[in-house]
Structure 1
Amino acid sequence: MIEYMNVHGNPNIGVYIFANNKIALVPPTITEKDRKKVADVLGVEVVAVKIADMIINGVMVAGNDRGLLLPRIIKPEEYDELKEYIGDAVRLEILEIRQTALGNLIAANNYGALVSPTIDKPALEKIKNVLGVEAVYQRHLADIPTVGSMIVVTDRGGVVHPGVSEEERKLLSNIFRVEVSTATVNFGLYFVKAGLVANNKGALVGDETTGPELMRIQQALRLGG
């Protein structure tokens, strides 16, 4: 299933929402109708939280079904609230590094992870352990360091910024063990993470996404209508 959505009138829904195959972290400010849409389309439990008193969960959080990586600026009470909601279903780990926009710097599914070269190498082993992936790769894509903002990948397929080379696209397919295709969202936006939230069961796209863009995303992520 794939459906259109906005958050507070903004089509950049991936800025506000993080999702894996178990949960979705949404801003407490969104409507009950939107929470239900997230739950129904993605088939997950919806958790309304802030991270560091901000509602940009998709920017601040990275992870997969095994673990969530949280920024060092998360408040203790926010961490406790998240832990209470999630329990032992997903491991929570604060990544004590200088950078805080982890969702823009780390892309992962349940097979592999790609990490921005701006993240210090000592953090890579922790990322690997928390996510439970076989390998973590660190590199630019199309000479851009914010690799997490350029990719949306599930265990069924992935989409990436159209500026990547064919060699880079093939590398991503090897890292994540799924076919990765180039795509745009929201009428030509290259940074696909900003306008797309997806898991193995479904996807939400920003409501400025065109019909051809939606079809390409749907095909790349191997989703039904």
Structure 2
Amino acid sequence: MLINRGKLIYRNIVPKRLRILIRRIFKIFLYKFRFLKFKIILFFAKEVKIILGAALTSQKDWLSTNEEWFDISSKENWHRLFKNKKKLKRALAEHVFEHLSKLEMKSALNLIYNYLIEDGTLRIAVPDGNHPNPIYREHAGINGKGADASDHKQFITYEYLKSELENCGFKCVLREGYLSDGSLVNEKLNSELGFIIRTRNNKSFSRKYGWNFENANSSLIVDAYKKNLN
């Protein structure tokens, strides 16, 4: 309650342009701090859990990465950070791959697979390319009109994502999203594999980020495993 009141006072007192400048400066310092933290922890740790393209998000016991210093489709970037050592236990990418081209996504998936330890996992959440709602599709699709969607390069379906993951060697399970026949899968998510904000499972979903269209709290969510599932 006090935090919300403080935010309201801040917005009323500080001009919008100054708030934007403060936010930019904050992000610069935060991302630099994250880069240093990542390198130090990765040097000592036997295995790590990372959020890919985290922007300002974070989770306990996970390392947040940012595209400003980690291009997940770049072999050179992975080598610079991991030095060819397989230390990746968990990877989480929430609404990241739709911002990449098909070739970039293919490269990123292969690199993630290569750096995952045995039994490692990758959880992916993207806008659902099979979603039947026209308002959702208009906002979340390629060059969408929703927040952060104007540079969407793909509108990914489960069938396409499954094929790309399996081509890398992953075994995958659909947790949330529509199939091409229009049927909906909506399973409870295991938080161990990473918390997802934009999911039907998130009862505290907030529209404050500009995700204020119909079904904005839904995604295509797939868990990919670097092992054979029994």
**Same-fold call, TM cutoff 0.5:** no
TM-score by length of 2: 0.30
